[in-house]
Chains A and B, each alone.
Chain A
Amino acid sequence: MKIIVCVSHVPDTATKINLGADGKSIDNNGVTFVVNPYDEYAIEEALKTKESLGEGEVIAISVGPEVNKETIKKALAMGVDRGILLKDENPRDSLAVAKALADEIKQEGAELVFFGKQSVDYDNSVVGQMTAELLGFNSVSVVVDFKLDGTNIVAEREIEGGREVVETSLPAIITAQKGLNEPRYASLKGIMAAKKKPIDEKPAAEAKSYVEVVEMKRPAPKAAGKIVGSDASAVPELVRLLREEAKVI
């Protein structure tokens, strides 16, 4: 079976982000980029699925500029068989990304596609579902457990306060949540083998972006904390504040 995993190349959450001179993009200088962390669960699940089937091919696809190849390379080093870069040096909105992916998935004729549940750069959490819609595939998002039996799928989704069990069938798009699996390390064998694996590069299918970023801002600085007391007598007030102000209990 042909399994596709869609991957994005995002700034490492540990690096400090500076805004670009235009005020509506980030300054890439000195920023370390990594595979989107949720995509690592997607890659792992794609590889595990192929391994449990005992046959097949896993293909990693990324939409974006030339540098996204680094992320595809990492996927290849983890064990993905080949990569495709749908190249576009200009930023795209989620729908335009989904259109490029849907176009390629159709051409490849794959029926099982894994995504991360969201990309930690723009955090829109929609590309997977949009791609499913464009292709007319079933879609299950925020998945923490996945089982494929023939063409049937049983997946568990994380929902507020619990888990939801969903049954569906191929063709399907699955978006991965933390907890789905423990992504493997790229072993040295994988890294060295990745050198010989192909990355096909082609222009991303033309698609209009409807969303325009007009400005980017830093979040407001965090307000100072509050100390309600230092001994047991402060507990009732603390409980009241947690309940009424912070609304966490």
Chain B
Amino acid sequence: MDFSLTEEQELIKNTVREFAEKDVQPVIKQLDEDEEFSLPLVRKLGELGLFGMFLPERYGGQGTDILSYIIAVEELARVDSSIAATLAAHNSLGIGPIYYYGTEQQKNKYLPKLCTGEALWSFGLTEPDAGSDSRGTKTKGLLENGKWHINGSKIFITNGASSISLGSTVQLVSDIKNNEKEYSTIIVENDTPGFSSKEMHGKMMWRASNTAELYFDNCIVPEENLLGERGDGSRIMLSTLDNGRLSIAAIGLGLAQGAFEMALKYSQERKQFDRPISKFQAIAFKLADMATKIEAARNMLYKACWLKDTNQPFAKEAAMSKLYCSEIAKEVADEAVQIHGGYGLMKEYDVERFYRDQRLLQIGEGTSEIQRIVISRHLGL
């Protein structure tokens, strides 16, 4: 067993850390305050080569392994979750399905643009009446005269309504036979007539990320926009989520790491009763527990990535990592605020944003309850 990172992974980690500290940290408080999505930061992520980084060079990727990608998300989230989420959603949910299921023609058409960062792609599964129950979606796409006629709507779609959002991969009901719905996955470009999108505002967390509602009002796309096999839509979406879970877990891990570092530093600077509060065992033990949880979370997540990188089944471990990393992110952020006392509740301190941002992690891409269902199914229950 070898736990060391390769030279490339080490360099990627350092580059992303440097970028997050120099380019994200100085602007993020204001973006969060204004609930603003930052195109300049997206461009820079593209210039660094982070978009589609695990794709081969022929599609515009950098040919890295999945672990490198996960480390990149972790390092961004150590400084800010919104920017980490923008990368994670674009790579795992946007680029992922096209790369894994697209025809050569579809890949060549979209992937190079999606890798430079000039365009973003989203994943439209969730609907107002279908979240955890992903087979409860109602948006229809009926094939008539060689075209898909789409009607319905999607909600909470990350990267769906920015000025550079090029399109999305959506799960549609493509037929109903004997009361059984058939699901297919269809590519819809945002400039298709009948398509519209609206940015959702008033978010408590990930305020600098783009979240959208998508509307399909007799939106018509060509038959060849089908991604993968007809009727295979639900499986495609669920396997995409297996990959996505790794990146949500990485956001949890990075967020926990960042909150822990802030708490550690603050505890050594803040004095009460004539000594740094870190000298009180009650505080030191909190920090010891936080560090232990982070260590366990990192090992679990990196192992899940190793399984994927070595072409072994990883869905169970991905669900476990997503569950564990997002749960400890909550615990660590909560204790980090506690260690900051009253200051931890003020916007002036980054830990306040981390405390809000962690809350999505136990809900998005499958709630903690749903992760436990996935894990228990893997246990044969």
- Please tell me if B7 contacts chain A, counting CB pairs below 8 Å: yes
Closest residue to B61 on the A side, CB-wise? A188
Asked whether B12 lies within 8 Å of A191 as measured between CB atoms, the reply is yes
Asked whether A73 lies within 8 Å of B49 as measured between CB atoms, the reply is no
Whole-angstrom distance between the Cβ of A158 and the nearest chain B Cβ: 22
Whole-angstrom distance between the Cβ of A53 and the nearest chain B Cβ: 23
Q: Is the interface of B mostly helix, strand, loop or mixed?
A: helix
Q: Mark A192-222, 1 if CB is under 8 A from B, else 0.
A: 1011000000000000000000000000000
Closest residue to B63 on the A side, CB-wise? A192
What's the A-B contact tally at a CB cutoff of 8 Å?
40
Within 8 Å CB of A195, what residues of B? Answer: 7-8
Asked whether B62 lies within 8 Å of A192 as measured between CB atoms, the reply is yes
Within 8 Å CB of B12, what residues of A? Answer: 188, 191
A114-130 at interface with B (beta carbon < 8 Å): none
- Please tell me if B19 contacts chain A, counting CB pairs below 8 Å: yes
Partner of A192, one of B8, B19, B50: B8
Whole-angstrom distance between the Cβ of A129 and the nearest chain B Cβ: 30
A153-186 at interface with B (beta carbon < 8 Å): 185-186
Closest residue to B10 on the A side, CB-wise? A70
Partner of B62, one of A70, A74, A188: A188
- Please tell me if A187 contacts chain B, counting CB pairs below 8 Å: yes
Most chain B Cβ neighbours within 10 Å, of A77, A185, A194, A195:
A185
Q: Mark A74-104, 1 if CB is under 8 A from B, else 0.
A: 1001000000000000000000000000000
- Please tell me if B369 contacts chain A, counting CB pairs below 8 Å: no
- Please tell me if B48 contacts chain A, counting CB pairs below 8 Å: yes
Tally B residues with Cβ within 8 Å of A: 16
- Please tell me if B108 contacts chain A, counting CB pairs below 8 Å: no
Partner of A73, one of B11, B18, B48, B50: B11
Within 8 Å CB of B269, what residues of A? Answer: none
Within 8 Å CB of B19, what residues of A? Answer: 185
A–B Cβ pairs within 8 angstroms, 13 of them: A73-B7, A77-B11, A185-B15, A185-B19, A187-B15, A187-B49, A188-B49, A191-B12, A191-B15, A192-B62, A194-B11, A195-B7, A195-B8
Q: Which of A's residues lie within 8 Å of B, judged by CB?
A: 70, 73-74, 77, 185-189, 191-192, 194-195
Q: Which of B's residues lie within 8 Å of A, judged by CB?
A: 7-8, 11-12, 14-15, 18-19, 47-50, 53, 62-64
Sort A-B residue pairs by CB-CB distance and give the 10 closest, nearest first: A188-B49, A188-B62, A191-B11, A187-B49, A189-B49, A186-B15, A192-B62, A185-B15, A187-B48, A77-B11
